[in-house]
Structure 1
Amino acid sequence: MNRFLILQKIIELGSFTKAAEVLGYTQSSISQMLASLEDELSIKLLNRSRSGVSLTLEGQELYPLIQQAIRQYQAVQERATEIKGLKTGVIRIGTISSITVHWLPKLIKQFKIKYPNVEFVLYQGDYNSIAEWIRTNTVDFGFTTPPMATEFKTIPIKQGEMLAVLPKNYPLARKPGVPLKLEELKNDPLILLEEGNYSEPLNAFSTAGVKPNIKYRIHDDYAIMTMVEAGLGVSILAKLVLQRMPFNIVTRPLVPAIQREIAVAYQDRQRLPIASQYFIQELLTNKGQLR
């Protein structure tokens, strides 16, 4: 059936290369599987030219039957899923605190309405630890940033702004925005969120040619807000985690803006437990509602 599906995708996209990219194969393996199908049928199915790919006359006669076989196969798959259902399962997720607090409660609640007996195990850490958990199969998938997940498959979820976090009576709190190159910001103690080998604020400082005065490195966003509130320094945190904060602090946009990109990362989607596959699909369906 894989060879039929490959043929369908080649016809749909008009290209071996594009079909290989979409299906996750190399171009040579796509070519080999199609050649194997043609050998088995003793019929040449495709013409290849500079203008693209097209069915041969013989291929045009067979292709409607191949499409019918694909539809029947998909119907079998769908029915098997219905019969098997998703009565139980455990979903193990690597996550960062802002997503644990602001995205996952609603997503899990919606998911458990459909699948009440599925359990969730959340591992909260930084970009480094999440990558390691994915690598060692401690978690099924994790929320991370694409630069820290180059060895995995990733699905972009959302971009979010990062904001300057300031004590309430701090002079810069009266300004509408905080330039990264501002002398006051460079010299004041910076409380940095420790996220492993990758830091969006440090990258932004480097691009701006600024060396920040890092005094503290802390793993917890809320501990950082407490320290900023106490006047121990300033920080830069994701806008997402700064929602509904109970702290007496001020947030301001940065100039230039710093964006944080979040993606779901995993080793192989086909090897994911079915419960995790369903949850990722639920996430993608509802990602437009994530704030």
Structure 2
Amino acid sequence: MESKKLEALLMAVDLGSFTKAAEVMGYTQSGLTHMMNSLEREVGFTLLERGRGGVRLTKDGERVAPAIREFLQANARLDSTIAQVASSRSEVIRVSAFASMAMHWLPSIIRRFREERPDVDVDIRMADHIRSPYELLAQGKMDVIFVSHQEEESGYEWIHLRDDTMYAVLPKDYPIDGRTGYPLSEFDGRDFIMPAQGFDKDIMRIFNRVGVKPHILPTAVDDPTVISMVEHGLGVSMMTELTLRGRGDGVLLVPVEPKSARELGMAVRAGEGRQASLQQFLECAQTVLAELEPK
């Protein structure tokens, strides 16, 4: 039974006229009359008495009218509740992240956060360059970014999460001679395949610190391709533990010496009031990461 027919019934009774009810509800008089006839066929008895003095409820109509009003009020409350829930779900936390962090950390973080705040959505954007998340954050297009620490960037608050150890990525037959570490100096002058374009800053910072100058091959490939190229003897590379996780079967992975790492964490805009849901997301991320990868 359509609620519109019930609303029209009560409107006609309250106004005492099909003509007035039709004007208020935007129907023609004939259209409203047709609705009332259809309603009476559905219920199986006459609801309205029609006469020169207008319309009024029959005795049967008077018996069901209170229940009709209760039904319409409950229906209105339901519509209001649905609208409130839909409105509350419009809150979104916008996240940008390096691929390695998005792959290994974010699924667990988001799953836990959804349990705590099912009313808040999380929108994820993968970073295609080391600087792009910082730019998006500065422009107000992201609420939090999962990145490596870049001292030259400004205007953000940094939350340290983990140090991501650097490994030399070598062909399986590389003469490591039982060593447990790979000296950074050994990269000097050697054919070097740089990981994903735009993410070389963390690596070059380490090389520049120790004065090492590898022969960087002119490539612009993704991380799996870099690993495949090393596997086929086309050069060596250096990547972090998180980037290499689950990908190192065809190559030799040796931590570099002296020990080096990129600092991973979260950045949010500095000097702004932080919405409660974002603060809860940040805390959730720290809690989940402590469980996934205890320090």
TM-score by length of 2: 0.62
**CA separation of 1:186/1:172 partners in 2, compared to 1, >3 Å: closer, same or farther?**
farther
**CA separation of 1:279/1:148 partners in 2, compared to 1, >3 Å: closer, same or farther?**
farther
2: distance between equivalents of 1:151 and 1:195?
A: 25
1: distance between equivalents of 2:281 and 2:152?
A: 22
What is aligned with 2:160?
Answer: 156
What is the deviation of 1:238? 0.9
Which consecutive residues of structure 2, in runs of 5 or more, have no partner in the other structure?
1-87
**CA separation of 1:87/1:122 partners in 2, compared to 1, >3 Å: closer, same or farther?**
closer
1:233 is paired with a residue whose SS is: coil
Which consecutive residues of structure 1, in runs of 5 or more, have no partner in the other structure?
1-85
**CA separation of 1:223/1:118 partners in 2, compared to 1, >3 Å: closer, same or farther?**
farther
Q: Indicate if the aligned counterparts of 2:189 and 2:213 stay in contact, CA closer than 8 A.
A: no
State the one-letter code of the partner of 2:173: N
What is aligned with 2:115?
Answer: 113
State the one-letter code of the partner of 1:225: I
Query: Which has more radius of gyration?
Result: 2
1: distance between equivalents of 2:152 and 2:288?
A: 24
What is aligned with 1:167?
Answer: 171
What is the deviation of 1:209? 1.7
More moved, 222-231 vs 258-267: 222-231
Question: CA-atom RMSD, angstroms?
Answer: 2.7
What is the deviation of 1:148? 4.7
- Counterpart of 1:284 (choices 279, 286, 290) is 286
What do residues 25-66 of structure 1 show as CA deviations (whole Å, max 9, x unaligned)?
Answer: xxxxxxxxxxxxxxxxxxxxxxxxxxxxxxxxxxxxxxxxxx
What is the deviation of 1:225? 1.8
2: distance between equivalents of 1:274 and 1:218?
A: 41
2:194 is paired with a residue whose SS is: strand
1: distance between equivalents of 2:177 and 2:226?
A: 17
State the one-letter code of the partner of 1:153: E
What is aligned with 1:137?
Answer: 140
Q: Indicate if the aligned counterparts of 1:167 and 1:173 stay in contact, CA closer than 8 A.
A: no
1:200 is paired with a residue whose SS is: helix
Identity percentage of aligned residues: 28
2:217 is paired with a residue whose SS is: strand
What do residues 217-248 of structure 1 show as CA deviations (whole Å, max 9, x unaligned)?
Answer: 54632232222223222111111122222641
Matched, 1:212 2:214: yes
How many corresponding residue pairs? 206
What is aligned with 2:61?
Answer: none
Write out aligned runs for 1:2-151 (5 A). 89-125=91-127, 126-146=129-149, 147-151=151-155
**CA separation of 1:102/1:219 partners in 2, compared to 1, >3 Å: closer, same or farther?**
farther
2:111 is paired with a residue whose SS is: helix
Q: Indicate if the aligned counterparts of 1:269 and 1:277 stay in contact, CA closer than 8 A.
A: no
What is aligned with 2:247?
Answer: 245
Q: Indicate if the aligned counterparts of 1:191 and 1:234 stay in contact, CA closer than 8 A.
A: yes
What is aligned with 1:83?
Answer: none
State the one-letter code of the partner of 2:225: A
What is the deviation of 1:213? 0.8
2: distance between equivalents of 1:106 and 1:278?
A: 15
Q: Indicate if the aligned counterparts of 2:196 and 2:223 stay in contact, CA closer than 8 A.
A: no
More moved, 117-126 vs 195-204: 195-204
